[in-house]
Amino acid sequence: MTSAHPTHCLISTQVDADRKLAVPGAFADRVDDERSSRLYLALKRLVEAENLDAIAIRCWPELPRDYGQWPYLAVTRLADEGLPVACEGDVDGALTMLCCKFLGCGAPYISDWLEHDQSSFVCWHGGMCPTCLTSDTGDGGGPRIRPHFNNKKPAVVDARVPINQYVGRVMRAPVKFQDFRTGGRDAQAGHGRHGVPLLGVRRRVRRGVRIIPVDRDAIDATSRRYHAMICNGRSKPAKRPLSGNNGLVELDLSDRGGRDLFACFEDWVIQYGMPHHVIICQGHHKASLAKFAAARGVKIV
């Protein structure tokens, strides 16, 4: 006679209860669902145990290579629950997402800047957008649980950014945090207690973090000030179908002195070191973000 360990039974029960996310397209293979649920539960438990407000997770190459699962379905679920989660270990992005959340901008989405024309840019990422920022399932835009476009391993959430929605976008300069926690110990980026590479922004009494500028390309060598590009915009029909999270955003450049996006982008990248990740929120939040930037000594470009 054999019997399962009580802890294993408890974990299995939690996983079984958590296996299905309420969106179409779930994998038929139980192992895929189980691994995604285990990853989601492990991250959620770590966030609760370490009292974190936001996390930056190194989503590749270790997780799909060694665990056999991309974390993006888990990231989407955590984002839907209100936790800012930045992928690719982007700690600066996690902090910016946290600022957007505290300023009432809704659920933030971290996206790649894929390409642009004179007035609009393609926002794209592998598939971790909060479902509240995705297109309604009735128009075929998702969300759908799918394998990753690159190596076909699970599990990402394919979805389009909804059309005719007002969006706000913010760029952030590199910063250095003083209040980092990695797997329960003060350290640099590494593997957390549950084997997941991540960095977390730890809660403080006033739910804030102290930031210290570092001397990098995106910070003015003379003033050592932060820089941010903040724009309102409107989503448009995507130029072409893409796996993952796909959208087209037309930016409001009316306050840019008649310069088009090519000229603005050149300045943002060459002069101010704009990273390839941008933060997108639903609604027009330029005014509140600009006030916050001014209060924190962040230079708007």
Q: β-pairing, 245-251 with 156-160?
A: parallel
pLDDT at 170: 63
pLDDT at 263: 95
Distance CA 29, CA 50 (A): 32
Instruction: Report in angstroms the alpha-carbon separations of 30 from 16, 42, 44.
Output: 10, 18, 21
pTM score above 0.85: no
Domains along the chain with CATH numbers: 8-300 (3.20.14)
Helix ranges restricted to H, 54-166: 62, 72-80, 91-102
CB half-sphere exposure, 179, CA atoms < 13 A: 18
Instruction: Report in angstroms the alpha-carbon separations of 94 from 5, 68, 101, 124.
Output: 37, 25, 10, 17
pLDDT at 138: 63
Question: pLDDT 10s digit of each residue in the chain, 301 long?
Answer: 444 544 455 467 666 666 655 544 444 444 466 788 888 889 999 999 999 999 999 999 999 999 988 999 899 989 999 999 999 999 989 999 999 999 999 999 999 999 999 999 999 999 999 988 887 766 667 788 888 888 888 888 888 888 777 666 665 544 333 333 333 333 333 344 334 444 444 443 333 333 333 334 443 443 456 788 899 999 998 888 898 999 999 999 999 999 999 999 999 988 888 888 999 999 899 999 999 999 988 888 8
The three-class DSSP label of residue 84 is coil
What residue has token string 């939690």? 14
- Give 171-226 as a 3 state SS string: CCCCCEECCEEECCECCCCEECCCCCEEEEEECCCCCCCCEECCCCCCCCCCCCCE
Q: Are 153 and 147 in contact (CB under 8 A)?
A: yes
Residue 75: Cβ within 10 Å count: 28
Please list the residues that pair with 112 across neighbouring strands: 124, 277
Distance CA 94, CA 87 (A): 8
H or E segment to which residue 52 belongs: strand 52-57
pLDDT at 292: 92
Q: Give, as one character, the DSSP assignment of residue 136.
A: P
Distance CA 242, CA 160 (A): 9
Distance CA 122, CA 278 (A): 11
Q: Kindly report whether the peptide bond that precedes residue 107 is cis, defined as omega within 30 degrees of 0.
A: no
Structure-block tokens of residue 97: 């997402």
Which residues, in sequence order, are CB contacts of 204 under 8 Å at separation 6+? 179
The values of phi and psi at residue 228, to 5°, are: -145, 140
Distance CA 232, CA 108 (A): 14
Q: Are 66 and 76 in contact (CB under 8 A)?
A: no
